[in-house]
Amino acid sequence: MKGEQFAAVLVNWQTRHGRQTLPWQHTGDAYKVWLSEIMLQQTQVTTVLTYYEKLLNACPKVSDLAAASQQDVMQLWAGLGYYTRARNLHACAQQVVERFGGVFPRDVADLESLPGIGRSTAGAIASLAYGVQAPILDGNVKRVFCRYYGVEGYPEQSAVKKQLWLIAETNVPRANPGQYNQALMDLGATRCTPRNPDCRQCPLNESCVALSKGQVNQLPTPKPKKERPELYFISLLVQDETRALLLDIQPDKGVWQGLWTPPCVPCDEEHQPAALLPEFDQILSRWGLSDAREEIEEQLQRLQGQSWLVHELTHRKMHFKVLALKRSGFHAAFHQLSEKPVPRIVHKLLEQAGRLNESPQSSMAQQDTLDF
């Protein structure tokens, strides 16, 4: 089954069983559709809803988002992860205002020319907001197509991706392309899920290749496994009497570009205090904390008997240990966490520091799997 018949089955199913109450649905507002599409990349709907509402309240129009500072945008995004999306979001809003008069274009090629908008996102905006006959191919849709048509091979491989785009182009209907694309996304999110798919309630189950061949759990073909680099850091947490934290903005490169973090010193798993002390001397000198050198040296010695706090990202595995200092008096570099965009790991480091203060000899392993 393909083409108009395939689309008709899905549109009929979406009308009766699909999601109808998401705040960006049925608005015809390209700005709202775009915001949701960017936020939903690699993030679940339940997580996105709160951030979507917060950002839309702060920036109800694309011109408001364009006029905001990048730090304000990062603050609104803080905790959602994959921060390149936030930087592209801001840059895209500015280009929509500068190049298109504050109105998202209808043309897919024009949409693709904007920062952070790929072919699938452009198709989603064009079809959902403007009713343009444009295909989409996000993660949910790839999974539906791979299973239904029995497409083998990792979906991001060039030949496989080309095959999936051909399927997407063939099936998108002239009538109701937006609802059809919504149906594909809804089916992947609620029925054809990565684990424990609900094949009995799927409208495509009678002609699904993967179901007929018993390959539902094998498709899509998983990504070939690749070892993630493991990185080790000693983080210095300096707080004042108001619990404000010494924070510094990260440079325009790296995983936390544009975010605020405590000072961190890279090291190896078998860290030696003597080797790390010169690095911390530079940090202490920079922030006027040289009087804490002896305390830091003692803490570095104690760290060797403590476990690492593990922070897992998509492409790397990060390990942290914590040094903690208390300082009184106002300092311009001290900030409340609510004042600056910080990655989630900062909250976990503070929790770790609190636990160590309660039980200095604790060696309990602390492991958290988080988006950065």
End position of a domain, from candidates 177, 212, 247 = 212
pLDDT at 304: 82
For 191-244, the pLDDT digits (tens) are: 999 999 999 999 999 999 999 999 999 999 998 888 889 999 999 999 988 889
pLDDT at 256: 80
Write out the two tokens for 202: 């799927």
Q: Which domain holds residue 261?
A: 230-369
CATH of the domain at 155: 1.10.340.30
Residue of higher predicted confidence among 194 and 257: 194
Number of domains in the chain: 2
- Residue 40 and residue 85 in one domain: yes
**pTM beyond cutoff 0.85:** no
- Residue 317 and residue 183 in one domain: no
- Residue 300 and residue 199 in one domain: no
For 64-92, the pLDDT digits (tens) are: 999 999 999 999 998 888 888 999 999 99
Question: What is the average pLDDT value for the chain, to the nearest integer?
Answer: 90
- Residue 101 and residue 64 in one domain: yes
Choice among 37, 227, 241, 351 that is catalytic = 37
Active site residue 37: yes
| Domain assignment present for 222 | no
Mean pLDDT of 158-184: 97
pLDDT at 97: 98
- Residue 187 and residue 292 in one domain: no
End position of a domain, from candidates 212, 239, 270 = 212
Mean pLDDT of 300-317: 86
- Residue 188 and residue 247 in one domain: no
- Residue 49 and residue 182 in one domain: yes
CATH of the domain at 295: 3.90.79.10
